[in-house]
Amino acid sequence: DGGPPVPATGDDPAPPESAGSEAVPEQPAPQAVSMRPRALRELPRRVTLRYALQTGEGGFTLGYSLITWHASGDRYVLESVTGASGVTALLVRGSATQRSEGHITVHGLVPDHYLMDRGKGRVQQARFDWQSARLSLPEAEVDLPTLAQDLLNFPFHLALTLRGDEEPWHMTVTDGRRLREYAFRIVAQGPAPAAARHGDAVHLRGSRAGDGTLDVWLAPALHWLPVRIRTVDHKGTAMVLTLERAEIE
């Protein structure tokens, strides 16, 4: 499920047990994101990011993804167009588009509406009713958890809110069809694979048992914008976006 722009994968080994004779207390499970105010960064008013789209790590280049961010007052609009290029363009026609719009708050991004259009009438969308705490999906209406995000905006929400010493936490993300909760954590800090020219990045991973992963690399030197995004679905299929060019106003 899901689709461009986000792609992820790999199982991490369990952390080593602490040495010593004393019993190690069990670590609490990650907690849901609270609504306490956070020290937010500001993203530029307008950003255009062009990514190369590949299958797997260093795999075949399928095309590109162009993501635009526009902030005006306390409102934001994110749009993405993903299309084929090269030989793939001869075999695949059309493009996939995504749109997320909502508010910018002291808690990060609060989406109102998310849409994924794969062409040929294949449209998925989610409507967020924060007053009633309900999320409307094509085939169901479900409870809307605090600070739920969508497949397009979640890296930008993290760019606004992530702290360098962030403890593991839970975040719910919708792809316009379903709502899933992921356990997020910081994996590492250092150069992002294939995007090292943008400086060091903070690598985050969201995982869900038996249901793939979401990885994102945020570059502090580039307004904490995502320089690499990777999704792995439940079948193990990986899609990777690597930043090629950024235009910032």
- Name the stretches of the chain with pLDDT < 50: 1-35, 37, 86-93
Confidence (pLDDT) at 85: 57
Q: Among 242, 214, 226, which residue's Cα sits nearest to residue 69? A: 226
Q: What is the pLDDT of residue 25?
A: 35
Strands 179-191 and 140-143: unpaired
The strand ranges marked E within 192-233 are: 200-207, 213-219, 225-232
In sequence order, what are the residues at sequence separation of 6 or more whose Cβ sits closer than 8 angstroms to the Cβ of residue 70? 45, 46, 76, 77, 78
pLDDT at 44: 95
Instruction: Kindly report the pTM of this predicted structure.
Output: 0.80
The span from the CA of 137 to the CA of 242, in Å, is 30
State residue 119's pLDDT score. 77
